[in-house]
Amino acid sequence: MIELEVYSVLYSLLSRHRIVLLREASGERFLPIWIGQHESEAIAMRLQGASVPRPMTHDLLNSAIGELGGALQYILVSDLSNGTFFAQLAIEQNGQMRMIDSRPSDAIALAVRAQVAIYSEDQVLDQAGILPSPDIRPSPEEGGDLDVFREFIEKLDLDDEDEEASE
């Protein structure tokens, strides 16, 4: 398994399409995953430290796992099949590790709330990972921005991808 970090949540101003961009923690590759609007907002809100007066769905799930005696240990982007990513929640309960099927977007939204590691199976990153090019500038914290990724998203013809964006 390869550890990943949430690098950014990207969206096209011209469409409803969203991507969560994960970066290899100890490497150079990025893993872009198409996600839905609600999940992108849930991830971005948490990363920005925004709070809401009532629990959102991912907050509720995080609380429910704890109240039922479980603890989220990590999430795993486990597979990529026919253009669809798959993920699993690794939940420890009563000394047993349980792997629960999840959409990657929900798993990532939960991981940022529970502050647990995000992993990818090697073959997923090998298959869908992208390497930075000289056109890709560093993150805003590193003195750059994500304009190249935004331009990439806005140029894609995704009319037939609308249903896949929600996984």
Has residue 31 got a pLDDT over 80? yes
pTM, whole model, 2 decimals? 0.76
Q: What is the mean pLDDT of residues 122-150?
A: 68
Following DSSP, what letter does each residue of 13-45 receive, concatenated? SSSS-EEEEEEETTSS-EEEEEE-HHHHHHHHH
Per-residue pLDDT tens digits for 74-129: 999 999 999 999 999 999 999 999 999 999 999 999 999 899 999 999 999 999 99
Quickly state the pLDDT bin for 149 (edges 50, 70, 90): low
Mean pLDDT of the 40-66 span: 81
Where residue 24 sits, what CATH number does that domain have?
A: 3.10.690.10
For CA atoms 161, 163, 165, 167, the dihedral sign is negative
- List CB contacts of 128: < 8 A, sequence separation 6 or more: 31, 32, 80, 85
Number of domains in the chain: 1
Residue 55 belongs to domain spanning:
2-165
Weakest mean pLDDT among 103-107, 150-154, 158-162: 158-162
**3-class SS at 132?**
coil
Residue percentage of the chain with pLDDT more than 70: 77
